[in-house]
Amino acid sequence: MKTKIFTVEKDGFYGAWYPKSTGSRKGIILMLGDSSQDRMAECGARWMQKQGCHVLAMSPGRKDYGHHNYPLERFGKAIAFLKEQGCEKIGIAGASTTGMLALIAASYYPEISLTVAFSPSDFVMEGFYQDNLDGMRERPGNGESTVTWKGEPLPYLPFAYRHPEYWQKIREESGLGGDKIASRRLFDESERRHPLREEEMIRVERIRGRILCIGAEDDVLWDTCRYIRRMEERLKRLPHDSTFEAWTYEHGTHFVFPESLLKSILPVGSGLLVRFMFHAGAQFPEECRQTRLDIDRRLREAIRGW
């Protein structure tokens, strides 16, 4: 399906181009999965194509979900490419850490007129690696932000713990709640030890167009609904040129994806994955499915009407 692969060395960013077979004036920068070429990215691209969009998938590396000192200028190069393809409307979508990244990128590039963030934070996170150092799946960077601008790291919320305690705390929390991965207490403790400063917050007031922030109260990775409400409150007191929509649900877990997208990634057992990963998914499977169905309907309408 893809026709062009991008590399940092040649093009200034990692990515894969998934053009819609018929003409479109809409282009989406999509950040899903560990790589812009893996199954999750390809399925996400197909889903967005069905909504009438060309898709440019992006990732930090060829296959790396770690985020540390990721240059925001890469999005500028991606936007320039989309414009060359005739895209008059440019959107961006990401989930989890890349949900945060989508919001940050949109706050720097006014060309972006649709921002979709699944389970995002409202602050810049500290950079992290997923390199299995000392047998730990993930570890914080040493004084690194998740993103940089003009070669300088953006101010960030530092994690409460260092390596190897960081991943040990995540494993401990995951076991206590019966989840495969949980880090909500880690993020709460990080904010307790280091109250957020203004310079660490995402400047959502600089984003143009329509902003869709999607999250569930039972998310155990972090308190995304609280973060979404903080963004909503921030926009109430600051001038902005956008429409902000908070799609928050009681149940849905960290995987608040459209149901049809999740099914395309896992045709058999998509619901089982949510139940396997998260205790809330096993406890409230039908409620989580209804959340995904509602997101599916609303997001299709939003993208088609964009």
Q: How far apart are CA 103 and CA 211, in angstroms?
A: 9
Any domain includes 150: no
Q: Give tens-digit pLDDT for 205-262.
A: 999 999 999 999 999 999 999 999 999 999 999 999 999 999 999 999 999 999 999 9
d(CA 77, CA 57): 13
Which domain range does residue 283 map to? 4-123+205-305
CA distance 304 to 301: 5
Mean of pLDDT values over 60-72: 81
Helices 184-193, 165-177: inter-axial angle, 10-degree rounding: 130
CATH number assigned to the domain comprising residue 285: 3.40.50.1820
Decide if 194 is inside a domain: no
pLDDT, averaged across the chain: 95
Q: Is residue 295 part of a domain?
A: yes
Q: Kindly state whether residue 81 falls inside one of the protein's structural domains.
A: yes
- The number of distinct structural domains making up the chain is 1
> Does 133 map to a domain?
no
- pLDDT for residue 61 is more than 80: no
pTM here is 0.96
Q: What is the pLDDT of residues 105-130, one digit of tens each?
A: 999 999 999 999 999 999 999 999 99
Q: Give a yes or no: residue 232 inside a domain.
A: yes
**Amino acid code (one letter) for 109:** Y
**Sign for the pseudo-dihedral over CA of 30, 34, 36, 42:** negative
Residue 65 pLDDT exceeds 90: no
285-305 and 270-277 helices, crossing angle to 10°: 120
CB-based contact 155:200 (threshold 8 Å): yes
140 inside domain:
no
Q: Where is 195: in which H helix or E strand?
A: none
Measured at the CA of 35, the angle between CA 289 and CA 190, to 5 degrees, comes to 70
User: 2-48, pLDDT tens digit by residue?
Assistant: 679 999 999 999 999 999 988 899 999 999 987 888 889 999 999 99
Question: How do residues 128-177 score in pLDDT, each as one tens digit?
Answer: 999 988 999 999 998 899 999 999 999 999 999 999 999 999 999 999 99
Residues 6 or more apart in contact with residue 135 via CB below 8 angstroms: none
Residue 301 exposed, middle or buried by CB count within 10 Å (0-12, 13-18, 19+): exposed
Residue 181 in domain:
no
> 66, 130 in Cβ contact below 8 A?
yes
- Residue 261 and residue 297: Cα distance in Å, rounded? 11
